Amino acid sequence: MQIIISGGGIGGLTAALALQARGHEVTVLEAVREPRPLGVGINLLPHAVAVLDGLGLLPALREMAVETSALVFANRHGQPIYRDPRGLAGGYSHPQFSIHRGELQMRLWAEASAKVTVLGGQRVVNVRDDGGRAVAEIETADGPRELAADLVVGADGIHSALRRRLAPDEGPPRWRGVMMWRGTTWAPPFLDGRTMVQAGHSRAKFVVYPIGAPRADGLQLINWVADRRIREPEPGLTAPDRADWSRPGRPEDLLPTFGRWRFDWLDVPGLITRAEQMLEWPMVDRDPLPRWRLGRSTLLGDAAHPMYPIGSNGATQAIMDAQALAEALGAHADLDTALAAYEDERRPMCARIVEMNRQEGLDAILDRVEALAPEGFADLADVIDPAEVAAEINAYKAAAGHRTAR
């Protein structure tokens, strides 16, 4: 098949590689003329790493990323609540990786460019069906153009033009009053140098993990995310204007909340004040769609299921979409049947994750501990049953697609 993918992000590029590996002729159209390694850190869960391994990328991931040993939940005093082993240490078939998002995208861009047609400066603004083909309507610096294919895949993010065809009256993304500040800081390694930590609670949470090996001076590039509720959720609450997304953040926006978060193993205000970059985003999502396909097009990744960044699901679920789409097209000769199979596999799970994350997902544990012991604890068992915590974490992981090799 001839397939156009709108969007050269992680999901779109993974889909291009997966589809090309199964013999399809793929063209990736990316709105940005010359993508650069922008952004900060992300986590790739083991089931996503398995997909990338199948595409021959595991050696590159080992070179670029940190193999995550565990996810630790802690209160705002830095006291551990639960340690969840990850990757090979957790019994999975593949590692979990903490990695710089932009560097991963650039590696996927290079891999895809060597195997398929990848074009920058090509913004897909609409798709129409014409004579059994899908026609992508494209804006470029040289004026509009059109390109026809058997299938167009919308991997164009939370502001997807292809999604608007399915939900023209959807409006802006949903916001519940939480802003996120994402930054990177060179700092001494913490804990074992391979651990991810979520500390605090839903009104003020600090997520931190390394995304590179220590350099010669012993410092390690640490990725961190500070969530702070600045507005109470209410019906119809609108996020800050899109033009303000990804704007530079300021330490003074965070230090009144996180300025005293100095743990035995981590200096939170130090990370904030010494950040080499800091960007600000609203925490937003969209309601699950009743369908992803329309004619000879379908959606993938954030275009299909934008979700709160809880549980490291964003890039991971886009990568799982890519694999599922390629497998469905390989299993069914009829395009409508293949797209239905892809959607039936992926849409219910992703809708479930969106809803779980709206209920704070795994962060609900942090909220309960904060409510029961706001000043900390001497023994966690006096506050909450550790077995209850483990059961809740494992239930979320199962619903989000975690599968150990045991």
pLDDT in tens, 122-144: 999 999 999 999 999 999 999 99
The DSSP bridge pattern shows strands 41-44 and 97-100 to be antiparallel
Cα 51 to Cα 103: distance, rounded to the nearest angstrom = 18
Residues pairing with 366 in the sheet = none
Is 182 in contact with 71 (CB distance < 8 Å)?
Answer: no
Task: Collapse the DSSP code of 143 into the 3-class scheme (helix H, G, I; strand E, B; otherwise coil) and give the result.
Answer: strand
Question: Strand ranges (DSSP E) for 234-308?
Answer: 247-248, 277-285, 297-299
Q: Give the CA-trace dihedral at 5, 6, 9, 10, to 10 degrees.
A: -30
First to last CA, the chain: 38
Rounded to whole angstroms, how far apart are CA atoms 148 and 145? 10
How is residue 294 annotated by DSSP? Answer: B
**Torsion on CA atoms 260, 264, 266, 270, rounded to nearest 10:** 40
Binned at pLDDT 50, 70 and 90, residue 355 comes out as very high
With a pLDDT cut of 90, the percent of the chain lying above it is: 89
Task: Report how far residue 154's alpha carbon sits from residue 178's, in angstroms, rounded to the nearest whole number.
Answer: 27
Mean pLDDT, range 371-378, rounded to an integer = 96
- pLDDT value, residue 42: 95
Q: Give the per-residue pLDDT at 52.
A: 98
- Which single residue is written with the structure tokens 């329309």? 294
Give dist(CA 133, CA 323) in Å, integer: 23
Q: What is the pTM of this model?
A: 0.95
Q: What is the pLDDT of residues 252-267, one digit of tens each?
A: 999 999 999 999 999 9
Phi-psi region of 398 (alpha: psi -120 to 50; beta: other; left: phi over 0): alpha
Total length of the chain: 406
Euclidean distance between CA atoms 74 and 207, whole angstroms: 10
| Band of residue 218 on the pLDDT scale cut at 50, 70, 90 | very high
Q: Is the pLDDT of residue 69 over 70?
A: yes
Q: pLDDT-derived band of residue 406, with 50, 70 and 90 as boundaries?
A: low
**Can you tell me the distance from the alpha carbon of 297 to that of 149, in angstroms, rounded to the nearest whole number?**
10
CA atoms in the 13 A half-sphere facing the CB of 139: 6
Work out the mean pLDDT of the chain and round it to a whole number: 95
**Pick from 141-150, 168-177, 240-249: least confident:** 240-249
C-alpha distance from residue 351 to each of 56, 305, 334 (Å): 30, 7, 26
Q: Phi, psi (5° rounding) for residue 21?
A: -65, -20
| CA angle, 129 then 294 then 358, to 5° | 150
Average pLDDT over residues 346-358: 95
DSSP H helical ranges for 167-313: 255-258, 268-273
Measured distance CA(250)–CA(277) in Å, rounded = 10
In the block, residue with structure tokens 């509720």: 229
Distance set, CA 75 to CA 79, 183, 387 (Å): 6, 21, 17
Quick one: average pLDDT of 185-209? Answer: 97
pLDDT at 38: 80
> pLDDT-based confidence at 311, cuts 50/70/90?
confident
Q: What is the pLDDT of residue 117?
A: 98
What mean pLDDT do residues 4-18 have? 98
